[in-house]
Structure 1
């Protein structure tokens, strides 16, 4: 499973990259705003900075909701760097845009997916990634992991090449469970990735080893 980090924070991206397990980055307008990045030129420059840090795909989201606007924005984003993946919302005009970009050989990430039907449409249109938001489904008492599982079954049935990108990952168990049910990619905060390192028995064992090593050195 690929590990993406969901942020626009360059320090967090660099820290995840330093771990040696980072495969890409996802961002959105809300994450940009959280970092105080405003204005089209500044946002485009920030995407380029992210691409300089990581080796894998970097999802950059359009803000238009009409076909022509999404195409114009998406083409501008795709020209920034070969690693850019154009992030398109799951709406009717978005499906048209995904098909357009697929025909042009431009990678896309269909975002805000909350149902199997939406995931099926995205795959049919040729999306590179489809992003079911499992955390947000959990927030409304719906099983986000079940959705991932059902999309996996559908994609396997028809050999769709679209990768399932589990989004809105909140914690380490989301990561582990997504891996169990076959998500191709997970994207979440740095804490969800680093949390996989931790276990109290590891901490206790290391503490004991160090204590014993210190006593032997006396």
Structure 2
């Protein structure tokens, strides 16, 4: 399963990319606004840093606007995936952009029917937002199971990109189901990386080593 980082923070992207943990990036207008500065320069730099797929989102809601923006976003790099909303106009743009060789990520998906239509329109990725479903009393991960089954039944090539991840268990559950990608906020990736028992164990090893050195001066570091 691939791990994408859901952020537009360049320092965070560089840090986790240097660890070899980042297979791709997802962004949206809210994340870019949070970072401030020139969003075009930020998107260009993200596309340069990351070798994998980078999802950049259109802000137009009409077909012509999405097409124009999608073509412009693609100029940032061959790894750019254009994010279009799960609307009729978004699916129409998805079909046309895909035909032009510009891959599309259909975002804001909340039902298996929507995922099916996105796949029919030729999307490379479909992004179900599981955390937001959890927030309103549904079990978001059930949606991933349904999409996985439907896509498997008909051999759709569209990849399931699990979005709105709220905690590490979401990542584990998505992996068990067989989702293609999870996109996680930096705070969740940090929680996946760290564990109190790892810290405790490392401290014990180092303390024992220091004790051994003090008792045996011949021991070299």
Q: Which of the five TM-score ranges fits, normalised by the shorter chain?
A: over 0.9
- Report deviation, 1:200: 2.6
CA distance in 1, matches of 2:67, 2:193: 41
Give me the TM-score of the superposition, normalised by structure 2: 0.93
May I ask how many residue pairs the two structures share in their alignment?
A: 214
The 10-residue stretch of structure 1 (132-141 or 205-214) with the greater mean CA deviation from structure 2: 205-214
Note the aligned Cα RMSD (angstroms): 1.1
- Report deviation, 1:90: 0.1
Match of 2:80 in 1: 84
| Match among 99, 102, 106 for residue 98 of structure 2 | 102
CA distance in 1, matches of 2:12, 2:138: 30
- Report deviation, 1:137: 0.8
Deviations 1:61-105 (A, max 9, x none): 111111111111111111221111100000011111111111111
CA distance in 2, matches of 1:80, 1:198: 34
CA distance in 2, matches of 1:202, 1:10: 28
CA distance in 1, matches of 2:85, 2:177: 24
Contact residue 62 and residue 88 of structure 1 kept, 8 A: yes
CA distance in 1, matches of 2:194, 2:74: 38
CA distance in 1, matches of 2:56, 2:196: 38
Match of 1:199 in 2: 195
Matches within 5 A, 1:158-173: 158-173=154-169
Unaligned segments of structure 2, at least 5 residues: 215-221
- Report deviation, 1:44: 2.2
CA distance in 2, matches of 1:10, 1:79: 19
1:75 aligns with 2:71: yes
The 10-residue stretch of structure 1 (207-216 or 157-166) with the greater mean CA deviation from structure 2: 207-216
CA distance in 2, matches of 1:97, 1:55: 25
- Report deviation, 1:197: 2.2
| Match among 114, 117, 141 for residue 118 of structure 1 | 114
Contact residue 107 and residue 127 of structure 2 kept, 8 A: yes
Unaligned segments of structure 1, at least 5 residues: none
Deviations 1:184-214 (A, max 9, x none): 1111111211212222322222222122211
